[in-house]
């Protein structure tokens, strides 16, 4: 495929990349000015809806459609919660956007607030992104000083406050209602939905929760138009009336056993193999890949034979993975044991389960214990049956939990048993142990 | 005067106008207190509750959900060194890095060195995967920390 001209990453490394002056010199806030002067909020919202933009946080829900769930003619306040919690393992594109080009993100936030009539935007930022925090705060301070935030932005009847709210190391606070609970100062326990945040969200008011990368796209959609956005990516499957398509540029993260771990911007739809070989520098140490995590660990596991799967919103589903997720690919080579990969994943979910729902709290705990016992050489053939049963029964899709963490926890286990059964059975039969036995269960 | 200095109380109160509810200042308050006192003592929990019109139990409830915050019995050392143990880092030696640091510093994850300089912690994905294996020093990433760089890192942190 011909080289794609970056949009979201186009300014990285330029002098004055993070300053207001630098952003303005590159045409920044011109779109916001145009929108405030020439379009009403409904027009901006309609543009985003018609563009087919889908959320980049993992669920891929159509952004403009989500905005329409806000009650019409609500007296307010309406809140925008910006999800900058980015904690899905192997994912780091939002970090790059905030560290390198904070004003691009902020212009999108202001436009989205204008479109949704939000009066305050809270950026829930994971604590671990200290550099991003300081960069974003500086940029926000510049905006207040230049009539681009606060009262009467650019002299219009439009007021907006933007506040950074730092998290404290909990993956579940990336779940939209877990985020809201944490913002409100409580433990990050996700809420039962409905009501959805658009109806009753932060502080019991209508709230929209959007991902950083999603919001960064908003400016470009308003600036360059719907036709431009739809010229990038993959149109909907004509045979499926419910397919919303995979439009726009996407930041892909590639990590693990590749020569060049990095973040690269490309149209939605390139394959895993292209990402690994063309942009990730190929598998390291002259080895072959055994498989990969296709979109953050919650999406499951792909075998090397499935690497020709396109990474758009439809592709991963066709090979039994949960979806595109965060489009973060992490490759493991042929010398890596699938049991160690699974052990790492199960340990993560057991640690991060918030504990609210029994199937998740107990299920993630048991999957972790079973896989750790396998890593210690004491696996039993029945373990695969138990793991499969647990993995298939926890989650919002089978309907047994409040949020989707459990689905994420189950999918890699399901995929491993389905796609790597041979390796798992051999491991158990031989009483094989982890290459890092001393570290199993050590912390 | 209580355990929170006037300056610290002022800093906490500055957050109130941002939110429609006082409880929302809980996390900012906990961060401010722990940054200064290296833990959140029970007396501080009571004072935060007082400032935010909450019960101490509500503050403690939120605090203990986030394993980030320390009770007064386990205060943090001068620097908090987090080592990522999630998949992208584990695939590139992250677990070995953690093991080596435990060995050199003579602590288990969660513990502080005898001289009080470094608290070693494991972290779940830090979001620095292009620089695996990665660590975090307080709240800043340090990437590509190969096992060979361990001695250098320890020296830098003053241990």
Fold category of A338-439 in CATH: de novo design (two linked rop proteins) (1.20.1440)
- Tokens read off for A325: 């997720």
Cβ–Cβ < 8 Å for A146, A106: no
3-state secondary structure chain A: CCCCCCCCCCCCCCCCCCCHHHHHHCCCCHHHHHHHHHCCHHHHHHHHHHHCCECCCCCCCEHHHHHCCCCCCCCCCCEEEEEECCCCCCCCHHHHHHHHCHHHHHHHHHHHHHHHCCCEEEEEECCCCHHHHHHHHHHHHHHHHCCCCECCHHHCCCCEEEEEEECCCCHHHHCHHHHHHHHCCCCCCCCCCCCCCCCCCHHHCCEEEEEHHHHHHHHHHHHHCHHHHHCCEECCCCCCCCCCCEECEEEEEEEECECCCEEEEEECCCEHHHHHHHHCCCEHHHCCEEEEECCCHHHCCEEHHHCCCECCCCHHHHCCCCCCCCCEEEEEECCCCHHHHHHHHHHHHHHHCCCCCHHHHHHHHHHHHHHHHHHCCCCCHHHHHHHHHHHHHCCCCCCCCCCCHHHHHHHHHHHHHHHCHHHHHHHHHCCCCCCCHHHCCCC
Is B27 close to A167, i.e. CB distance below 8 A? yes
B45-87: per-residue pLDDT in tens? 999 999 999 999 999 999 999 989 999 999 999 999 999 999 9
- Residue B73 resides in a domain: no
- Tokens read off for A268: 């939605």
Q: Answer yes or no: do B47 and B97 share one domain.
A: no
pLDDT at B1: 63
A3 has pLDDT over 80: no
Q: For position B123, which CATH number holds?
A: 3.40.30.10
Is A183 close to B122, i.e. CB distance below 8 A? no
- Residue B133 resides in a domain: yes
Q: Answer yes or no: do B59 and B102 share one domain.
A: no
User: What is the end-to-end Cα distance of chain A in Å, rounded?
Assistant: 45
pLDDT at A442: 81
Question: How far B61 CA sits from the closest chain A CA (Å)?
Answer: 7
Question: How far B69 CA sits from the closest chain A CA (Å)?
Answer: 8
A255-299: per-residue pLDDT in tens? 999 999 999 999 999 999 999 999 999 999 999 999 999 999 999
- Tokens read off for A71: 């009650």
Of A264, A299, A283, A219, nearest in space to A57 by CA: A299
Average pLDDT, chain A: 96
B87 contact residues in A (CB cutoff 8 A) = 89-90, 256, 293, 297, 330, 341, 344-345, 348
Q: Answer yes or no: do B60 and B102 share one domain.
A: no
Chosen domain end from B65, B90, B109: B65
Is A257 close to B91, i.e. CB distance below 8 A? yes
Q: Is A421 on the interface with B (CB under 8 A)?
A: no
Residues of the domain holding B27? 6-65
pLDDT at B159: 66
Q: Is A162 on the interface with B (CB under 8 A)?
A: no
Within its chain, how far is the Cα of A108 from the centroid?
17
B95 contact residues in A (CB cutoff 8 A) = 436, 439
ipTM of the prediction greater than 0.90, yes or no: yes
- Residue B86 resides in a domain: yes
**Count of structural domains, chain B:** 2
Residue A164 C-beta-side C-alpha neighbours within 13 Å = 22
Q: Where, residue-wise, is CATH 3.10.20.600 in chain A? A: 246-333
**Residue spans of chain B under pLDDT 70:** 1, 159
Cβ–Cβ contacts within 10 Å for residue A442, how many? 15
> CA B44 to CA B21: how far, in whole Å?
20
Averaged over A202-219, what is the pLDDT? 98
- Among all chains, which residue has been given the structure tokens 């109806």? A199
- Residue B143 resides in a domain: yes
A1 has pLDDT over 70: no
Lowest mean pLDDT among A193-197, A344-348, A390-394, A396-400: A396-400
A374 has pLDDT over 70: yes
Is A187 close to B98, i.e. CB distance below 8 A? no
Question: How far A140 CA sits from the closest chain B CA (Å)?
Answer: 14
Q: Answer yes or no: do B85 and B141 share one domain.
A: yes
Quote the CATH superfamily of domain A20-231. Answer: NADH-ubiquinone oxidoreductase 51kDa subunit (3.40.50.11540)
Tell me the pLDDT band of A95, cut-offs 50, 70 and 90.
Answer: very high
- Residue B123 resides in a domain: yes
CATH number of this structure's domain A246-333, picked from the four choices 3.20.20.70, 3.40.50.620, 3.40.50.1700, 3.10.20.600: 3.10.20.600
Q: Answer yes or no: do B53 and B101 share one domain.
A: no
Is A293 close to B61, i.e. CB distance below 8 A? no
Chains A and B form CB pairs within 8 A to the count of 159
Q: Is A211 on the interface with B (CB under 8 A)?
A: no
Q: For position B15, which CATH number holds?
A: 1.10.10
Searching chain B, which residue's CA lies closest to the CA of residue A329?
B88
Side-by-side strand order, sheet with A161-166: A161-166, A120-125, A79-84, A207-211
Q: Answer yes or no: do B87 and B50 share one domain.
A: no
């Amino acid at each position: 495929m011909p080289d794609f001209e970056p949009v979201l990453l186009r300014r990285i490394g330029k002098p004055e990349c993070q300053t207001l002056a630098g952003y303005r010199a590159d045409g920044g806030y011109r779109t916001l000015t145009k929108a405030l002067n020439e379009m009403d909020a409904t027009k901006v919202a309609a543009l985003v809806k018609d563009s087919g933009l889908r959320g980049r946080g993992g669920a891929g829900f159509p952004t403009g459609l989500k905005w329409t769930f806000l009650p019409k003619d609500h007296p307010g306040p309406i809140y925008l919660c910006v999800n900058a919690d980015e904690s899905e393992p192997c994912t780091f594109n939002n970090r790059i956007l905030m560290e390198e080009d904070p004003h691009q993100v902020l212009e999108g936030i202001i436009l989205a607030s204008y479109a949704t009539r939000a009066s305050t935007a809270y950026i829930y930022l994971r604590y671990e992104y200290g550099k991003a925090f300081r960069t974003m705060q500086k940029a926000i301070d510049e905006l207040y000083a230049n009539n681009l935030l606060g009262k009467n932005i650019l002299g219009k009847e439009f007021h907006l406050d933007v506040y950074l709210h730092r998290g404290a190391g909990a993956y579940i606070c990336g779940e939209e209602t877990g985020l809201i609970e944490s913002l409100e100062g409580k433990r990050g326990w996700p809420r039962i939905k409905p009501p959805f945040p658009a109806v009753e969200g932060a502080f019991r008011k209508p709230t929209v929760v959007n991902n950083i990368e999603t919001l960064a796209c908003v400016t470009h959609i308003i600036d360059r138009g719907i036709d431009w956005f739809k010229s990038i990516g993959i149109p909907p499957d004509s045979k499926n009336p419910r397919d919303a398509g995979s439009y726009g540029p996407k930041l892909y993260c590639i990590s693990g056993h590749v020569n060049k771990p990095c973040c690269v911007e490309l149209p939605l739809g390139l394959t895993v193999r292209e990402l690994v070989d063309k942009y990730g520098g190929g598998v390291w140490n002259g080895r072959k890949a055994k498989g990969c995590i296709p979109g953050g660990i919650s999406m499951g596991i792909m075998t090397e034979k499935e690497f020709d799967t396109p990474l758009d919103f439809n592709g991963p589903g066709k090979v039994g993975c949960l979806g595109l997720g965060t489009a973060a690919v992490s490759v493991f080579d042929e010398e890596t044991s699938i049991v160690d990969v699974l052990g790492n994943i199960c340990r993560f979910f057991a640690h991060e389960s918030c504990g609210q729902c029994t199937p998740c709290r107990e299920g993630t705990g048991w999957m972790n214990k079973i896989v750790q016992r396998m890593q210690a050489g004491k696996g039993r053939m029945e373990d695969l049956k138990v793991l499969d049963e647990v993995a298939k029964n926890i989650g919002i899709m089978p309907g047994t939990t409040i949020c989707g963490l459990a689905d994420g926890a189950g999918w890699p286990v399901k995929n491993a048993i389905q796609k790597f059964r041979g390796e798992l059975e051999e491991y158990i039969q031989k009483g094989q142990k982890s290459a890092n036995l001393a570290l199993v269960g050590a912390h | 005067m209580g355990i929170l200095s006037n300056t610290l109380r002022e800093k906490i109160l500055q957050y109130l106008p941002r939110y429609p509810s006082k409880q929302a200042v809980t996390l900012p308050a906990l961060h401010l207190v722990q940054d200064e006192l290296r833990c959140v003592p029970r007396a501080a929990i009571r004072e935060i509750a007082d400032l935010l019109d909450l019960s101490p139990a509500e503050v403690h409830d939120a605090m203990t959900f986030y394993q980030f915050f320390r009770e007064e019995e386990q205060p943090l050392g001068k620097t908090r060194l987090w080592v990522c143990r999630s998949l992208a880092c584990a695939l590139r030696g992250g677990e070995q890095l953690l093991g080596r640091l435990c060995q050199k510093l003579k602590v288990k994850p969660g513990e502080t060195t005898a001289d009080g300089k470094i608290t070693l912690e494991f972290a779940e994905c830090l979001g620095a995967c292009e620089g695996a294996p990665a660590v975090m020093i307080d709240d800043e990433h340090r990437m590509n920390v190969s096992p060979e760089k361990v001695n250098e890192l320890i020296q830098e942190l003053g241990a």
